[in-house]
Structure 1
Amino acid sequence: MKEIKVPELAESITEGTIAEWLVKKGDKVEKGDPILELETDKVNVEVNADHSGVIAEVLKEAGDDVEVGDVIAKVDENGEAGGSSEDSSEKSEQKEESEQKSEPKEEKQEAKKEEASKEDKETESSKEEGGKGDIVATPAARKRARELGLDLSEITARDPLGRIRPEDVEDAAKGSKSEDTKQAAPKQEKKQETKNEKTEFEKPVERVKMSRRRQTIAKRLVEAQQNSAMLTTFNEVDMSAVMKLRSERKEEFQKKHDIKLGFMSFFTKAVVGALKDFPLLNAEIQGNEIVKKKFYDIGMAVSTDEGLVVPVVRDADRLGFAGIEKDISRLAKKAINKELQLDELQGGSFTITNGGTFGSMLSTPILNAPQVGILGLHNIQKRAVVMPDDTIEVRPMMYIALSYDHRIVDGKEAVQFLVRVKELIEDPYDLLLEG
């Protein structure tokens, strides 16, 4: 019988939740066959069989949390599909039971008699030593009582025959602690009742266990707020120039590159340009050091049914508009289909999140730690805008928000970063010229 264990997944992943078993007890598997899908805090991965044979035993069910190295199933290398392995395991269990039953009954009976006579002798000797015929205690109990300064007459025996044993003495010694515990019990009950009042409902509710990814998202968002001096600054962008450029070039762009020209490539290029001017927003804190990153791996927040993931567009400064759009599309599809790999989620230097796709008008995005900056995009709304010549025009406007870690980024720098993004978006031809 061979064991199947949770394999080493990655340096940063030590546990996961079994999402689905792909095989069942009695199924035949070959070495390397996928047997289950494991949900981690970042991606879903398949666990493969280490040995060929028949699944003899499934030790963990779907929904169970497991750690690297845990045994999750057993494979019978000599078993046959259809339950032979189960039969063989049952036979081995029956054999063990029969062996246990075949032990001589006389030996058990003799052992019981010896134990009983030994206890009787201890009791008789304790009577003689104690000088009090009405108190029956074992020598060990008398010795312990003397050490603790307790009166045997005040100790209650749990033995049906009234014999005081060492554990009775220990219980008596803990009497004061027990009283304290009893006094504290009502307080604990009150606290429990108060807690239950918050969680119990008179009307129907549905309780659903949080997925591994959702638990991690919750934990990381709270940690980001607790471990950083997070602040958000806002600005608004006139999207007229970008929308005009897209309208003029979108058909030609799609024919040439087989991908639509969206807004995200413009903002990605604008962010890279602004990060070059304000490098502290492309940094992170490690201990008492500031690590300034000389690369531009931009995370793109993608919403999925199981929660938010942030795949990374690598070397965004070296990609053209088409390359960025293709990377974003590829990563978004993989995220939705749960096909992202760990290396596609790690190592980003700055993040962009677009709540405008869901209609958000304004928000304060939370940092994607250990990054120190995140740009939030919002819905485009037509608004009356006062122009430089004092005329009023209706323009497509978008609010943008920059959340940053005030520990290393000052307000002046954060505001100027956001202004630079605004300038590049309102004059996108600069982005085209810069590549």
Structure 2
Amino acid sequence: MKEIKIPELAESITEGTIAEWLVKKGDKIEKGDPVVELETEKVNVEVNSDFAGVLVEIVSEEGEDVEVGDIIAKVDENGEAGGETSEEEAPKEEPKEEKKEQSPKQEQKESPKKEEKSDEGKQDVIASPAARKRARELGIDLSSISPRDPLGRIRPEDVDAATKGSSDKKEEKSAKKEQSKSSEKTEFDKPVERVKMSRRRQTIAKRLVEVQHESAMLTTFNEVDMTAVMNLRSKRKDNFLKKHDVKLGFMSFFTKAVVGALKEFPLINAEIQGKELVLKKFYDIGIAVSTDEGLVVPVVRDADRLDFAGVEREIGNLGKKAQNKELQMNDLQGGTFTITNGGTFGSMLSTPILNAPQVGILGMHNIIKRAMVMPDDSIEVRPMMYLALSYDHRVVDGKEAVQFLVRIKQLLEDPYDLLLEG
């Protein structure tokens, strides 16, 4: 009997939730076949079988949390499709049927064994073969176990639960009492719906709270006149599309502006490791993407080496992968700075939260036409956007943060410099 375990997933990811079983008990599987979809804090991944055979037992059901190394299923390499258990795991109860045809003397001789068997196995208890085997291994009396199955069938997890000590039971009872008290206090008079948070949503919530507790986060604001960018984009977009087969959007301008500013203010492209500052000499820019399951931040690698078309193409590819749930772990790891665009949803102003361990994040917002006073005191209607830079004050001083944001403003209001740089 072989065991399918949760493999090493990626750095910092040690647990997940069983999202969906791709095979069922009794199915024939080959080595390398995907058997289960696992939801982690970043992406959903498929766990493959390291063995060929028949899936004889599913240990962890859909919705259960599992950790790296946990056994989630068992495979019989010699089994046949459609069978529930292997010969190794099947309970040996055949002699009981044969004893019915034995003579009275034989029955009298065998009766001590029957009593012993009755004491040990509790054959009148409804339990799966795997549960009986697990009970024998742990020395647990099946009759003392309360099954969770509505039909009264004992499963392996019921046996494992019964091994907990009395202290655990006391703690459980105490927790239930507290939970009962809490539920009484927070009970609603009107209809509500309780929905379990997904693994990703739980992680997002946890990380956001951690960032605010562990960093000295501040936000500075500025506004940018988008006239030059919009005019340039309007003039070049058709030729750009024909030449590069990708649309010219706003994100490439902002990405290139961020890279240019980071080169002038390297501390905003750093992170804290212990008592050291790690100044990164590369520019992997995270682009926040909203999906039905929560926010993800795929990374545009070496954005400084890409031209406008390369940036737009990479952002488009990552966005499609995010929406189709095709992002891989390496798409999400190692960013040095993040850009988030709340303007796509109509946001006027916000204070974005840092994407730890990064020390800076730029928030874009919607473009609004406003009356602006020009240098010659004339008043013109201009398309304006508020920008927000959240930064970790432990690394970045206010002066640097303000200057960084001003430099982004300058590059966007005179985008030809960006085009000349690449």
Distance 1:65 1:98, change over 3 A: farther
> Cα deviations across residues 316-353 of structure 1 (Å, max 9, x unaligned)?
11110000001101111111111111111111110000
- Cα deviation, residue 287, structure 1: 1.3
User: What amino acid is aligned across from residue 289 of structure 1 in structure 2?
Assistant: E
Residue among 348, 371, 390 paired with 1:361: 348
Where do 1:251-266 residues align within 5 Å?
Answer: 251-266=238-253
Output the CA distance in 2 between the equivalents of 1:251 and 1:402. 32
- Cα deviation, residue 3, structure 1: 1.4
Paired-residue identity, %: 77
Output the CA distance in 2 between the equivalents of 1:197 and 1:360. 38
> Cα deviations across residues 221-253 of structure 1 (Å, max 9, x unaligned)?
001000000000000010000000010000100
Q: Does 1:250 align with 2:237?
A: yes
1:181 corresponding residue in structure 2: none
1:94 corresponding residue in structure 2: 93
- Cα deviation, residue 88, structure 1: 5.1
Output the CA distance in 2 between the equivalents of 1:423 and 1:12. 38
1:35 corresponding residue in structure 2: 35
- Cα deviation, residue 192, structure 1: 5.8
Distance 1:38 1:93, change over 3 A: farther
1:51 corresponding residue in structure 2: 51
Distance 1:194 1:51, change over 3 A: closer
Output the CA distance in 2 between the equivalents of 1:417 and 1:274. 6
Residue among 254, 278, 285 paired with 1:291: 278
User: What amino acid is aligned across from residue 241 of structure 2 in structure 1?
Assistant: Q
Residue among 415, 419, 423 paired with 2:406: 419
Distance 1:355 1:96, change over 3 A: farther
Q: Does 1:334 align with 2:333?
A: no
Larger Rg over CA atoms: 1
1:176 corresponding residue in structure 2: none
Distance 1:4 1:96, change over 3 A: farther
Query: Does the 8 Å CA contact 2:285/2:338 hold for their aligned counterparts?
Result: yes
TM-score normalised by L of structure 2: 0.80
- Cα deviation, residue 2, structure 1: 1.7
1:104 corresponding residue in structure 2: 112
2:339 corresponding residue in structure 1: 352
Q: Does 1:228 align with 2:227?
A: no
- Which residues of structure 2 form unaligned runs of 5+? 99-106, 120-173
Output the CA distance in 1 between the equivalents of 2:181 and 2:81. 54
Where do 1:147-186 residues align within 5 Å?
Answer: none
Output the CA distance in 1 between the equivalents of 2:44 and 2:244. 31
Distance 1:288 1:33, change over 3 A: same
Query: Does the 8 Å CA contact 1:363/1:376 hold for their aligned counterparts?
Result: yes
1:70 corresponding residue in structure 2: 70
User: What amino acid is aligned across from residue 317 of structure 1 in structure 2?
Assistant: D
> Cα deviations across residues 406-435 of structure 1 (Å, max 9, x unaligned)?
111111110110000000000000101111
Distance 1:3 1:95, change over 3 A: farther
Distance 1:56 1:371, change over 3 A: same
Query: Does the 8 Å CA contact 1:234/1:401 hold for their aligned counterparts?
Result: yes
Q: Does 1:406 align with 2:405?
A: no
1:391 corresponding residue in structure 2: 378
Moved more, 6-15 or 55-64: 6-15
Output the CA distance in 1 between the equivalents of 2:115 and 2:59. 37
Distance 1:323 1:106, change over 3 A: closer
1:208 corresponding residue in structure 2: 195
Output the CA distance in 1 between the equivalents of 2:388 and 2:313. 25
> Cα deviations across residues 121-142 of structure 1 (Å, max 9, x unaligned)?
xxxxxxxxxxxxxxxxxxxxxx
Distance 1:61 1:233, change over 3 A: same
SS at match of 1:246: helix
SS at match of 2:32: coil
Count matched residues. 359
> Cα deviations across residues 187-221 of structure 1 (Å, max 9, x unaligned)?
x97x7676324532121111111111111111110
Distance 1:104 1:312, change over 3 A: same
- Cα deviation, residue 53, structure 1: 1.3
Output the CA distance in 1 between the equivalents of 2:221 and 2:6. 46
Distance 1:103 1:280, change over 3 A: farther
Moved more, 245-254 or 69-78: 69-78
Structure that is richer in helix per residue: 1
TM-score normalised by L of structure 1: 0.78
Residue among 365, 370, 374 paired with 2:357: 370
1:431 corresponding residue in structure 2: 418
Output the CA distance in 1 between the equivalents of 2:286 and 2:114. 75
Query: Does the 8 Å CA contact 1:76/1:85 hold for their aligned counterparts?
Result: no
Query: Does the 8 Å CA contact 2:343/2:365 hold for their aligned counterparts?
Result: yes
Query: Does the 8 Å CA contact 2:28/2:53 hold for their aligned counterparts?
Result: yes
User: What amino acid is aligned across from residue 23 of structure 1 in structure 2?
Assistant: V
- Cα deviation, residue 59, structure 1: 1.1
SS at match of 1:206: coil
Distance 1:91 1:239, change over 3 A: same
- Which residues of structure 1 form unaligned runs of 5+? 112-184
2:21 corresponding residue in structure 1: 21
Query: Does the 8 Å CA contact 2:56/2:86 hold for their aligned counterparts?
Result: no
Output the CA distance in 1 between the equivalents of 2:49 and 2:385. 52
User: What amino acid is aligned across from residue 91 of structure 2 in structure 1?
Assistant: S
Distance 1:419 1:106, change over 3 A: closer
- Cα deviation, residue 96, structure 1: 9.3
Distance 1:389 1:369, change over 3 A: same
User: What amino acid is aligned across from residue 94 of structure 1 in structure 2?
Assistant: E
Moved more, 332-341 or 256-265: 332-341
